[in-house]
Chain A
């Protein structure tokens, strides 16, 4: 019976990454409660397939499963999340309302909201890079996109975040601040 060995392997290699799994799910789903359900489901799936894992990077393997579970969940429950491309007219609105401005006085809240306005594909690379500290190679593995695309997606995501955080000003090519109509 392989059972005890599989359980040990899972405990040793996969369980330590449950925070990473939860964090990715939380940012992809934008909800702690949903993230908890999906993380649990993904971890159980990882356990069932532990026999097919022969690599060395268990975190990337697990995060790949978590990511797939998140997209499947979004597909079923919140399709609009997947269809929304970055659109300034939609995404910039919240930061202009008085309530949002009050909330934005808290820096963490402000960054959190800004990150959540990015499209899922931008959000995930930023979370993997800045919060999880993944290399481009690991991000490529987890998201199944080529390494070159990781770099350009990150560039787009960071520029998007920058725009959400300071919607009224941007820099032109010479570095001068330019005011835009919003």
Chain B
């Protein structure tokens, strides 16, 4: 690891945001790099003084009252009653609705559907299945790095054919596949490796043909990434970094 690379990593390390493997790599680097040790100490003391200086400023005492007074006279967007709204309200309401749509479409929706797009329950199932798969002997039903072995294995076990590709040259070697159950239905799972970590990719046919979307998130220490491509929906889950998972997701969508 060159010092050049470790400069950004140093901050990820300081913040405890590196995945275990990269953190370990960085610690190994620290053993032999005194400038990095000095820099880390410098940053730690900067952080200590920032936190010690009590810079956090709480809302003034009267603010909550002011807000409550104002919302007492405000309707939430779902409450507009069309029959008796005066004309200016119509205009304001339609402008607000356009705004809601724009915000929902471009901002809030995109980002927060991360919590609702893949339904919470489904996400819990995916995480449980991922954890189960890490028990000895549960990871794969068919173990092969050859896509031409893994793909035919699914034949006849499912009513669809998942796309199976090996991404070894991109750093995500195919390890194998297995059947798992999501939402009461059998789905294909492709297992990829990333350094010493495993990534489970759940694949099932697209239920409605919307345009390509990708959602990501983290839960219980696992990163997940949901995407659609080639008429399939993919949900990748692992303890690798979000960036790694994102890279794999791009490959799946190619």
Q: Chain A interface (Cβ within 8 Å of chain B)? A: 1-3, 6-7, 10, 15, 18-19, 21-23, 26-27, 32, 35-36, 39-40, 43-44, 47-57, 61, 64, 68, 107-108, 111-112, 115, 126, 129-132, 135-137, 141, 144, 147-148, 151-152, 154-155, 158, 161-162, 165, 171, 173-175
Contact = CB atoms under 8 A, between A and B. Distances in A.
Interface in B100-125: 100, 103-104, 107-109, 111-116, 120
B195 interface: no
Nearest to B108: A52
Contacts of B12: 136, 151
A130 to B, nearest CB: 5
Interface residues on B, range: 35 or more
A32 B60 contact: yes
B253 to A, nearest CB: 17
Contacts, number: 165
Nearest to A174: B35
B76 A50 contact: yes
30 contacts: A2-B78, A3-B76, A39-B59, A40-B63, A40-B67, A43-B71, A44-B67, A48-B76, A48-B77, A52-B103, A52-B109, A54-B115, A54-B116, A56-B120, A107-B53, A111-B49, A111-B50, A112-B55, A126-B50, A130-B47, A130-B51, A131-B55, A135-B17, A136-B17, A151-B17, A154-B11, A155-B11, A165-B46, A171-B39, A175-B34
